Structure 1
């Protein structure tokens, strides 16, 4: 059985989606109208500095991912489950028909704007901790009482991201090394995603989402928040709100799908981050990556069931 998975922020790069300039011209035009600038030009030509602005990055990744998804579905490949890493959950929702592509562009733009303004520049931070288990890292975070830090992304065995106030992330990183972490990599972000510092903007985001009509999903969406499959419109809405300030339980999401007999994962969108994580979670499953039309041509030659 097949699951489609969609990447989140950090997978963007200048040149992404360039070979879709004709097949997805309509989608880039819709997104450009919503955003008020030429999104195709930004994705294809940059500059990096503009593409990497959160409020631009989110709708850009969504658009490229959805453009590729549309080609995949048209080729006759369809999923049993869909899931996305953080922002990628919005592409999963469009795949399920929860809201339209145009609405998804509006929603991800707003999400990016709210996340960007959640904390003053330099106050928040994130870091990837390699080679330490979740229980030990959680204890480290809880031991820091003068500032706030917590687990943000449980990506795969031996890779957990922490998020919070910059001072706390720094302290936790040092303690993690003392406790045996192989490596701690500060992430090049100023937004402390997926932790309680996002709670306030989540309330504002919830009000914004009331403007849209959510529908039940055609495919079960495996939610980041609890690693359970949801199809009900209200449950999806609640999960997307809670996702802003809750850890991304990606490892558990993948394990859940495998427990439901998924043996083939297709990552659709820029980059190969999720493909790498899935291989580390369970090396026995098949993993494919589609970030351009050539990748799709190669996959169509495979016997996918």
Structure 2
């Protein structure tokens, strides 16, 4: 059984989607018209600083991922489940026909703008904690009472991201090292994603989503919040809102799909982040990565079931 998985923010790089222009020029053009700038040029030529701005990054990754997805589906490969890491859940929703690509570009642009303005620069931050038990890290976060910090991404065994006030993240990082974390890596982000500091913008985002019509999904979407599958339009919409201020339970999402019989994961979009995480969650499953047309040719040669 095959699952399609889609990457989130952090997977972007200058040059992504370069070989897609011939087959997906229409998508880049449509997205560019919605956004008001040349998206293909930004993806392929940069500059990196502009591509890294969250309101640009989100529709850019979505467009490249969807362009690749369209080619994968056209090749005759289809999934039993779909899932995405944070932003990637929007590509999963487009894959399921929950909303159109055009609407997804507008929604991810708005999501990026709202996230950027959620907290003033420097107030919030995130850090990846490597090699520490989830329960210990949760206790550390709860022990810090003068600043807010909490678990944000439960990515794979030994890799958990914390998020919150910058001072809270610093304190938790120090305590994590004292408790035996192998390494703590501050993330190069200015936004404390997937924690309660995003609650206010989530409410604004929820109002914005009411402008769009949501359909039931053609494929079960395993959402980040509950790590369970749903095809229901309203449930998908609610999960996208909650995701802004709730932890991304990626490890649980992958385990859920494996428990339902998935043995092959195809990561569709820029980078290979999710393939690496999945291998650490369960080394016995097959993982493939499609971030170019050449990758798709290789995957098509495989005996996928």
Which bin holds the TM-score, normalised by the shorter protein? over 0.9
Q: Corresponding residue for 1:30?
A: 30
CA distance in 1, matches of 2:99, 2:30: 15
SS in 2 for 1:155: strand
- CA–CA distance in 2 between the matches of 1:177 and 1:190? 23
Correspondences of 1:46-65 after superposition (within 5 Å): 46-65=46-65
Give, in angstroms, the shift of residue 214 of structure 1. 0.2
In 2, the alpha carbon distance for the partners of 1:170 and 1:66 equals 37
**What is the 5 A alignment of 1:70-109?**
70-109=70-109
Q: Distance in 1 between matches of 2:229 and 2:209?
A: 21
| Correspondence for 2:278 | 278
Q: Which residue of 1 aligns with 2:135?
A: 135
Q: Tell me the residue number matched to 1:291.
A: 291
1:67 corresponds to: 67
Give the match for residue 173 of structure 1.
Answer: 173
Counterparts of 2:206 and 2:301, CA distance in 1: 43
Distance 1:42 1:6 in 2: 20
Matched, 1:154 2:189: no
Question: What is the aligned residue count?
Answer: 305
4+ runs of 1 displaced by more than 3 Å?
none
Distance 2:226 2:216 in 1: 18
Distance in 2 (CA, whole Å) between partners of 1:285 and 1:302 is 14
Q: Aligned partners of 1:190, 1:52: CA distance in 2, in Å?
A: 11
Query: RMSD of the TM alignment (CA)?
Result: 0.3
Q: How does 1:225-264 map to 2 (within 5 A)?
A: 225-264=225-264
Tell me the distance in 2 between the aligned counterparts of 1:190 and 1:166: 10
Q: Per-residue deviation at 1:247?
A: 0.1
Match of 2:113 in 1: 113
CA distance in 2 between counterparts of 1:264 and 1:169 reads 36
CA shift, 1:22, in A, is 1.1
User: Using the alignment, how far apart are the partners of 2:133 and 2:111 within structure 1?
Assistant: 30
Counterpart Cα distance in 2 of 1:74 and 1:133 = 42
The equivalent residue for 1:186 is 186
Task: Give TM-score scaled by structure 1 length.
Answer: 1.00
| TM superposition score normalised by structure 2 | 1.00
Shift of 1:76: 0.2
Distance between the aligned counterparts of 2:234 and 2:125, measured in 1? 31
Where 1:294 maps in the other structure, the secondary structure is helix
Return the alpha-carbon distance in structure 2 between the equivalents of residues 67 and 96 of structure 1.
Answer: 15
Where structure 2 has 5 or more consecutive residues not aligned to the other structure, the ranges are none
Q: Work out the CA distance in 1 between the residues paired with 2:34 and 2:240.
A: 21
Q: Secondary structure at the match of 2:235?
A: helix
CA distance in 1, matches of 2:300, 2:28: 25
Query: Who is 1:302 aligned against?
Result: 302
- Does 2:180 align with 1:218? no
| Structure 1: 5+ residue stretches without partners | none
